[in-house]
Structure 1
Amino acid sequence: MPLMLSVAPTLRPVLDPEFLPGALWQRAYRALVAADPGARPFAVVLERTDGSVFRHDSRVLSAVHPQAALTLTYAERLLKFLLWMKGGPRVLVAGADEIAAALGRIYAPTGARASDCEFMGVKIFGREFSVEATTFTALPASRETSLPMGRHLDGCRIGFDLGGSDRKASALIDGEVVFSEEIAWDPYFQKDPAYHIEGVHDSLRRAAARLHVCAIRVAWNSKCPASRWASWLRST
């Protein structure tokens, strides 16, 4: 990250005294932009395959500012954050064509962010990832969708967390916890699926013994693929 900004953290970590929190860098960059009479409006839009659109508006330094090179750092970190906050396979950038072109090279199959390009493109949304320069008048309007979340606590339910060092299971009846247990295990180095399945079965059986199950919620951090869990749960 270019350090052409004057940023002096109040506290410096002993083991990494040169560490610079991104929030402080961003704050210093925005102050520089606020003092630039030629600062430009800048927008990043993420389009998703379901038709939803997310838009983020800000301002960046003028292209002729002595520290204009900082803008690419700002824009790249911003795009990285937005991709993992919102996601989308198509990125539209308005207000700085040179930044859009640079981002397109960075977030390309052979660029520095090739993994993000692949993940946010084909792997998640099933289409090629792209970064395109456009004008403000051509930018689509924000169009976000939302889905109601559950919070369903009625009936008999099991919460199950497969961690890397332990597995946790809880049982609830109409929102009241009637069972909670944490059992140490070592899934990372266990290549035999039977080890994983037997551990899962054991925890679920312990929790289910306290109630009549209406639903099971599972979170996992295990080497056993999710498809195997789904197949096993359907068969029980």
Structure 2
Amino acid sequence: MKHLGIEVTIKNVPSLDPGFLPLNRYYESFRKDAKEPFDIAVERAGGQMAVCKTTIHGTPEFFDADVYYVERLVKTLLWMKGGFKVYLAGNQAVCDAIAKFYSAGGQQEFDWDYMASVFEHPFEVVRVDKVPEAKDAPKRIGGHLDGCRIGFDAGGSDRKVSAVIDGESVYSEEVVWFPKTNSDPDYHYAGIVAALKSAAEHLPRVDAVGVSSAGVYINNRTMNASLFLKVPKDQFDAKVKDIYIRAITDTFGDVPYEVVNDGDVSALAGTMSLNDNNVLGIAMGTSEAVGYVDEDGCITGWLNELAFVPVDANPEAMRDEWSGDIGCGVKYFSQDSVIKLAPRAGIELDESLSPAEKLKVVQKLMEADDPRAAQVYESIGVYLAHALAMYYDLYHFRHVLLLGRVMSGKGGDLILNRCKEVLADEYPEVDKAILPSLPDEKFRRVGQSAAAASLPELRK
């Protein structure tokens, strides 16, 4: 395959997506003859800095390829680690092109606006002679089992809560709610408080509260979350940014609490189940939700929004309706991927069905060993192998736990098996370094809300 003058060799291609061009393979081919230094740094809250030092071609012939390569790396850093200021050191023309992309009216205007909103800071791209040094601030969090705790897990279709005493769950409940379609933040607040009070009834006291919730959270504040999609901006700023803080303190007073992205809590539950660290958790459901616990058992504070990290360099790749970009993980590692591939396998899906219902149709066919459904899941397995090789370059994880509705049943087993085959064939060095797996019964017993309960450390 060839893209922007770069020839790329791939051994394993999804049968239902022959145009798939793994971005990591494109990167490798691009860098073979790229000798001109080019450095990137992205600044986020607290002066933390993500740095990538690489090379480009720096010639007119490969200008478009240089810009494409640098832009994809910038986007990857932004959605993996987050940030509001991009520093570029290198070719002036390439820097100018990236600055134009990430601006009002630019190709990546969505990313420009989103990051400015999340970090409450104007987004800018600047050219410098030398980028700042890398700086991280990982935080040891979770795994605290002492005392009487509440763990709350806010999902898009249901909310779960657990009451935990010294690491043992004594009560849990799951309640259906509709946060994504409700524009009144008081609805969300009432639901959160109702769950907390329900759990508290089964505890002699409440020593701490941990919250697992979809979205971006900085200093326990809600910076962006699909759960509050319909809430107007003025109401979001006034009532949602501190919604979990208010719900906890209004109900229990001054108790320790932590609010963490649900992907990170999934990874934390994985470390508790595996009794090991350095875990990447990938949940394939409505979207691709990701969390990471590093080798020291710390949560990094990174965004880990790999749903919007590009994985496919095919210029005809499917476009994400929300971000407007193409080739990003959400269309490869969620129910959207199953829905995208099913018609290519000859499976007709009723357009009146919801995405979740369409997924169930394919899952039912897979349970009946329909070869068309098998093609769908095998293709996702190929996607996953190529993406895990790229994710490994980013995180250097040891374990990867594959979660979510897409990974359930026979389909999930087939995805994992095909992924392992492709890793062994195409990325033997990665295959030897990582352990992809599905959650075991111990993980299921720990549960998302019970793991959330372990987030805060009790005051001494």
TM-score scaled to structure 2, two decimals? Answer: 0.44
User: Cα RMSD between the aligned structures?
Assistant: 2.8
CA distance in 2, matches of 1:28, 1:168: 46
What is the aligned partner in structure 1 of residue 14 from structure 2?
12
Match of 1:180 among 157, 164, 172: 172
Q: Does 1:67 align with 2:66?
A: no
CA distance in 2, matches of 1:173, 1:49: 35
1:75 shift after superposition: 0.2
Richer in helix (by share): 2
Query: How far apart, CA to CA, are the structure 2 residues paired with 1:232 and 1:52?
Result: 30
1:159 partner SS: strand
Equivalent residue number for residue 124 of structure 2:
130
Q: How far apart in 2 are the matches of 1:218 and 1:145?
A: 23
**Residue in 1 that maps onto 2:85:** 90
- The structure, 1 or 2, with the larger RCO (C-alpha pairs under 8 Å, 6+ apart) is 2
With over 3 angstroms needed to count, the CA separation of the structure-2 counterparts of 1:156 and 1:61, relative to structure 1, is: same
User: Aligned residue pairs: how many?
Assistant: 225
- Find the residue that maps to 1:112 and give its secondary structure: coil
In structure 2, what is the Cα distance between the partners aligned to 1:47 and 1:188? 31
Greater Cα shift, 47-56 or 78-87: 47-56
Q: Give the percent of matched residue pairs that are identical in Structure 1 and Structure 2.
A: 35
CA contact (8 A) 2:43 2:84 kept: yes
1:162 alignment counterpart: 154
One-letter identity of the residue aligned with 2:176:
A
Alignment of 1:1-236 (within 5 A): 2-7=3-8, 8=10, 10-14=12-16, 16-33=17-34, 39-48=35-44, 50-64=46-60, 66-121=61-116, 123-136=117-130, 139-140=131-132, 142-151=133-142, 152-191=144-183, 195-211=187-203, 212-221=205-214, 222-223=227-228, 225=236, 226=240, 227-236=242-251
In 2, distance between residues paired with 1:193 and 1:55? 38
Q: What does the per-residue CA deviation read over 1:85-126, in whole Å, with 9 as the maximum and x for residues that have no partner?
A: 2333332211211111100100112211122223333x2444
State the TM-score, normalized to the length of structure 1. 0.79
Who wins on radius of gyration, i.e. which is larger?
1
State the AA in 2 paired with 1:173: I
Write the letter of the residue equivalent to 1:210: H
Instruction: After superposition, give the CA deviation of every residue in 1:39-90 in whole Å (9 maximum; x if it has no partner).
Output: 21111122346344332111111324x4342111110000011122233333
| Counterpart contact for 1:161–1:169, Cα < 8 Å | yes
In 2, Cα distance between equivalents of 1:197 and 1:130: 35
Conserved 8 A contact 1:2-1:73? no
Residue deviations 1:110-165 (CA, integer Å, cap 9, x gap) = 211122223333x24444322222324xx33x151415322233211111111111
Alpha-carbon separation, structure 1, partners of 2:209 and 2:51 = 36
1:36 corresponds in structure 2 to none
> Where do 5+ consecutive residues of structure 2 fail to align?
215-226, 252-460
